[in-house]
Amino acid sequence: MTAARPDPATRRAAAPRSGAATEARTAAGAGGRLLVVAAAAAFLLLRPGGWALPGAPAVLAAGYLALAAAAARAAGPGRAGPLPWAAALAVGLAAVAAVAGLSGPTFAVRADAVALALNTLAAVAEEAAFRGVLYGLLERAGRTAPVPGAGTRPPRPAARLARAARGGPALAIGGSALLFALLHVPLYGAAAFPVDLGAGLLFGWQRWSSGSWTVPAATHAAANLLVVIPLG
């Protein structure tokens, strides 16, 4: 027995409903990701005061773990980038090792097991939030934003500049790096802003080139460890 096919009128009526449902799911997903980014920002802003709490290391570790789990789930799976992940990781590790070798430990942090564990957890949680969730949101926003003059043939020079400035990867790398650096000011002070901005740009480039937030997470963890472990 052959199932009856829906007539064209039925298919046309169902198409708008299907499109509306897809848009609703997309909006809900974006809203959930924004909540994760907001939670990450709030946690990092409150982090300096967390050290005054009883059992501060355990509280901070639990916060990092919860943030990493939520952000990793919201970020979803990555995709292939223009470079192999090993190449992007090697570039990042070489960069942080060079900076650490020139400057040495930057902050007075005890290099004990608790400090090493918290620095590693912080790196993973922050990268899941910034280069995982926030990067994805900004990249999609940049790719879908209308560009003035984009419909002309050939595109006007202003349209080409606007496309480059508002392109998904450029907006994602720059935007995630800027927020990352700003949210570290309460903990490390304004003097560390340029360093954190440069680090954020490096991590964003790794995210773009490898297609995964786990590569900058590994580099960030190495950078955090080099902050507290002398190389000499």
Asked, for residue 69, whether it belongs to a domain, the answer is yes
Q: Give the pLDDT score at 108.
A: 53
Tell me whether residue 5 is in a domain: no
Which pTM was predicted?
A: 0.79
Q: Which residues have CB under 8 Å from 51's CB, separation 6+?
A: 60
Q: Does a structural domain hold residue 140?
A: yes
Q: Is the pLDDT of residue 4 over 60?
A: no
What is the average pLDDT across 199-224?
Answer: 96
Q: How far apart, in whole angstroms, are the C-alpha atoms of residue 221 and residue 204?
A: 15
12 within domain boundaries: no
Q: Is residue 6 part of a domain?
A: no
- Return the higher-pLDDT residue of 72 and 21: 72
Q: Specify burial of residue 149 (Cβ count, 10 A radius: 0-12, 13-18, 19+).
A: middle
State residue 165's pLDDT score. Answer: 47
pLDDT for res 222 = 94
Name the residue with higher pLDDT: 185 or 113.
Answer: 185
Residue 167 has a pLDDT of: 66
pLDDT tens column, 78-130: 888 999 999 999 999 999 988 877 765 555 556 678 888 999 999 999 999 99
pLDDT at 52 over 70: yes
To the nearest 10 degrees (0 to 180), the angle between helices 85-103 and 214-228 is 20
219 in a structural domain: yes
Helix (H) or strand (E) holding 62: helix 56-75
Q: Go through 47-80 and write b for each residue having 16 or more CB atoms within 10 A of its CB, e for each that does not.
A: beeeeeeeeeeeebbebbeebbebbbebbeebee
Q: How many domains does the chain have?
A: 1
Residue 156: CB atoms within 10 A of its CB come to: 12
- Dihedral sign (CA 143, 148, 152, 156): negative
Domain that holds residue 48: 29-145+161-228
* 58 in a structural domain: yes
Q: How many alpha carbons fall within 13 Å on the CB side of residue 50?
A: 19
150 lies in a domain?
no
Decide if 37 contacts 125 (C-beta within 8 A): no
pLDDT tens, 135-180? 999 999 877 655 555 455 555 555 554 554 456 899 999 999 999 9
